Structure 1
Amino acid sequence: MNHFNWIFFSAFASLLLSSCATFTKDGGLAEVNATTAQHIKQEVVWPKTDREQKIVAERVSELLKRPMNADVAVQIALLHNKGLQASLYALGISEAEVVQAGRLPNPKFSMLYARHNGDYKIEQALTFNIFSLVAMPKLLEIERQNFEKTKRFVSLEVLNLAFETRLAYFNAVTANENLHYSEQVKESAAASDELSRRMVKAGNWSMLEQVREQGFFSDAVLDYTNAKQQQVVARETLSRLLAVPVEQLRLEKRLPDLPQSIADLQPFEKAAFEQRLDLQAMRIETQALARQLGLTKTTRFINVLEIGPARVLEGRGGDTYKKGVDIAFELPLFDWGGAKVARAEAIYMQAVNRTAQVAFNAQSEIREAYSRYQASYEVAKYYRDEIVPLRKKILAENQLRYNGMLISPFELFSDARSQVASVNAYIAKLNAFWVAETLLQMSLIGSSSSQEGK
């Protein structure tokens, strides 16, 4: 075979093998959306061009025009959070590595020219790294596994952002309601304090009772100040997740109502191994490490092997080229690769045991999250059905007694504050339920914090 045939063979082989891995149209985003669709209703968009970014910006602006609920807040976060957009580019990086693993390095052409006393020497060689032919199938498979793992991680990032946004939304709405009711308590305490001062001046009220009312008012002022600060923190947290200025946040006035009933534990436990993305990603990781272990054993005796056409012109100008084959082979003289194999085996077993521990933790985390979910539901339901109506009834009865001049206005003020406090407590318990429900859903997908080498 002459050197032209070798060149043709090398080019054909490169073209054939490089066609094994090509870029997809969406960079793996469709699979990410398919995975996240099992848990959330919102979609993820990956705007790359100026036109696509403009479309996303217009959609976000449209969503911000009306008061948002939790689902709308999640959709805005998935469209507008720049941290998520950065995570999406991990798909592009991983896919590029897959494509690169399916392509051979370019052939190398080298030439030597030497001249001495009328004699000269010209060497020309075209070399091709045939080691790539041996290693390419396994390398390509490893990168494909890594790409699948990256899709799982990105899906986990999407879902974590979605659930973090839900938590932030519920906390922000709760903070708004707390501020509203804290203001009512403060106004009631202020009226009671002012009335007590007037009655002391008129000699109809003791100083002790007046100081007690003043203490109630001072506590109410502090509670109101704390509520304002909590509102700022909650709204700023939501603002960061949505990447939207806090001034543009328009939330619904109330939390969603408590559901009529809650689901049983068994479906959640069953879903532990079917839906946990961290377990799926770690399973892919162990499979990739197993293939990497096999690759290490294959290459422990083959480090570099280049073969290609070569021709040598040596002598005077009229002499012909001497054709042959240029072979380079590096032998492992002292390092036979045993340490590499041992290291790969240790890494693999480390991943296996880590996966086993995460699997065990998954069921425990789901049971713990469900227990919190169930308890918070019962507490919120008790507040809604028992405590709040009871406080409301007490206030109504004392209102009748006050109208009949049977009790003082201070008793009425006290009952009014207690009634408002019970409503505020119910709001806190209702928020605790929705937080627990969100945390339960998060336990079904896993957590990126449990992963190594992200």
Structure 2
Amino acid sequence: MTPFRRPRPACLALAMAAACALTPAAAAPLSGGLAASDPATPAPAPAWPLLPAQPSAELPALPDGAAAARAQWQRVNEQVAGFARGHIDLLRWEQSRPDASAPAAEAAPTDPLTLQAAVSASLRQQPDLFTRAEMNVRERAEVQSAWARHVQSVQKAWIDAVAARERARLMAQAHDVSRTGAELGRRMVVAGNWSQARQMREQLGESAAWQALVSARLAERAAVEALAGRLGLWRGEDVVALAARLPQGLPALPDAVWPGRDVAAERIEALALQADAELTLMRTEVERERRASDPAREALLQQQMDQALARSGMSGPPHIQALERPGDAAAERSLHGQARLLARAAERRSAARLAWQQLAMRHAAARQATDGLLRLQTALDQENLLRYNGMLQSTWDLLASARERIAALDTAQQARAAYWRALADGQALLAGAPASAVSLSPDTAAAGSTGAATPGH
């Protein structure tokens, strides 16, 4: 019998390492999809910014008797008299104190997530969208089409997230303006210069602005979550960090309708056809089938189809007689192939025309909103401020002008977002995505969604 021998130190280390590798307790911690799909993975609630306090529906109590009303009026006006513009300066001074409840301005991200960086990060989670040397032409065409569609989805998710955050900031500004009007109205009632009916109008405006802010914040979080899903982020804290990394606004509108590429209306259809590798393969097959077919038999089969259409009604599909000659099968394959090719080419040409028309119109609308609507509203806002400083307009005119300016900003940024979404559709089509990648994007909320200006005196 072979005597027992001690293992050498090196062998012992190797044996222990092998044993540890087979022990479940020594397994590497879960990550990626394994961790995300494990119900036991901790999932703390994400620390999204809180909403401002809900607006109050309470009305200030009126003084009891003429003497009490006179004393209250005198006390309030003495407080206001120390400020050049009265109530609004007093309110701004109170909000600028360290203990003010107004939210602080959001700082710009030091490392903003660009569109290109978002696309690259998403592709790390898409191994099926990488081409390989052993792929044939058709397999490469399928990957190219899926890649283009994926890039389009990430682009639009990034655009939606940036636009939603920008709109949420505008709705927060609109809410702050309405809150200021409601507080000034309350002070006017306390001073005896306003009726409670007018104060209730201001409170209704604040409530509407608060509801719009809630909707904008929810839309923002939904857009950020959608982008996070495409980037493979599943932890709540990572999603909040992603939101903080988004740029504060969309890129500026380019001068050209289609930037960075020589694309024009007369070339868009040809470029869209060239980008469809599957269409090229179909065309090659149809040409081969047509060369193998007898044109006379094709013409006869087409005649039979026309006669069947003339006989048929709406009760069922048209019916033709059974094939009688060997050449009819080749003719039928040729006709069917040409029909499929025609359908695909027509669909792709239509998508190309729609992509160009939508992009051109979105570009014009965004340009008008920026150079026309927003410029006019900004000039009017400055004029109203000058008139207010000259005591020619009231505080309420200034607040109404602020609401209109925010509404114009909202319209301009939404028009810009619609343009970038349309460009993503067109780029996807010219990169090989199917024709269904191009669709008419619905218009978002119209101007004035921040709430109508409250009439003042």
**TM-score interval, normalised by the smaller of the two chains:** 0.5 to 0.7
My pick for the range that moved more, 244-253 or 370-379, is 244-253
Whether contact under 8 Å (2:138, 2:278) holds in the other structure is no
Determine whether 1:66 maps to 2:66: no
Q: 1:148 aligns with which of 117, 130, 137?
A: 137
User: Do the aligned partners of 2:130 and 2:143 also contact (CA within 8 Å) in 1?
Assistant: yes
TM alignment of 1:19-30, pairs within 5 A = none
Root-mean-square deviation (Å) = 3.4
Matched, 1:240 2:285: no
Please say if 1:175 is aligned against 2:164.
Answer: yes
2:152 paired residue among 160, 163, 166: 163
- CA, structure 1 residues 235+344, in 2 after alignment: closer, same or farther (shift >3 Å)? farther
Q: Are 2:194 and 1:205 aligned?
A: yes
1:395 aligns with 2:377: no
SS in 1 for 2:230: helix
1:40 maps to none
Aligned to 1:271: 271
More strand by share: 1
Residue of structure 2 in register with 1:374 after alignment:
360
Deviations 1:285-331 (A, max 9, x none): 7689999x9xxxxxxxxxxxxxxxxxxxxxxxxxxxxxxxxxxxxxx
Match of 1:435 in 2: 421
Checking the alignment, whether the CA contact within 8 Å between 2:148 and 2:432 is kept in structure 1 is no
CA contact (8 A) 1:358 1:450 kept: no
Give deviations 1:256-304, integer Å, cap 9, x for gaps: 101112253123222122122342354467689999x9xxxxxxxxxxx
SS of the equivalent of 2:194 reads coil
Contact 2:381 2:401 in 1 (8 A): yes
Residue of 230, 247, 254 corresponding to 1:252: 247
For 2:328 and 2:240, locate their aligned partners in 1 and report how far apart those are by CA, in whole Å. 58
Name the structure 1 match of 2:342: 356
> Is there any run of 5+ residues in structure 1 with no aligned partner, and where?
1-52, 55-63, 96-146, 294-337
Letter in 1 for 2:207: S
Larger radius of gyration: 1
Displacement, 1:418? 0.8
Q: Is the 8 A contact 1:272 1:363 kept in 2?
A: yes
Amino acid corresponding to residue 376 of structure 1 in structure 2: R
TM-score normalised according to structure 2 size: 0.57
Shift of 1:446: 4.8
Quickly say closer, same or farther: Cα 1:370–1:223, change in 2 above 3 A: same
Query: Aligned partner of 2:240: which letter?
Result: E
Q: Among all aligned residue pairs of Structure 1 and Structure 2, give the percentage whose two residues are the same amino acid.
A: 27
Once residues 330 and 213 of structure 2 are traced to their aligned partners in structure 1, the CA distance between those partners, rounded to angstroms, is: 60
8 Å CA contact 1:278, 1:445 repeated in 2: no
Cα distance in 2 for residues equivalent to 1:267 and 1:158? 23
Q: Give the paired residue count.
A: 290
* C-alpha contact 2:351 2:435 (8 A) present in aligned 1: no
**Aligned equivalent of 2:371:** 385
In the TM superposition, 1:412-451 aligns within 5 A as 412-448=398-434
**1:182–1:223 contact (8 Å) kept in structure 2:** yes
If the length of structure 1 is used for normalisation, what is the TM-score?
A: 0.57
CA distance in 2: counterparts of 1:154 and 1:347, whole angstroms: 28
Q: Check whether the contact 1:278–1:448 (CA below 8 A) recurs between aligned residues.
A: no
Contact 1:278-1:447 within 8 A present in 2 as well: no
Is 2:204 the counterpart of 1:215? yes
Partners of 2:252 and 2:406 lie apart in 1 by 18
SS at match of 1:266: coil
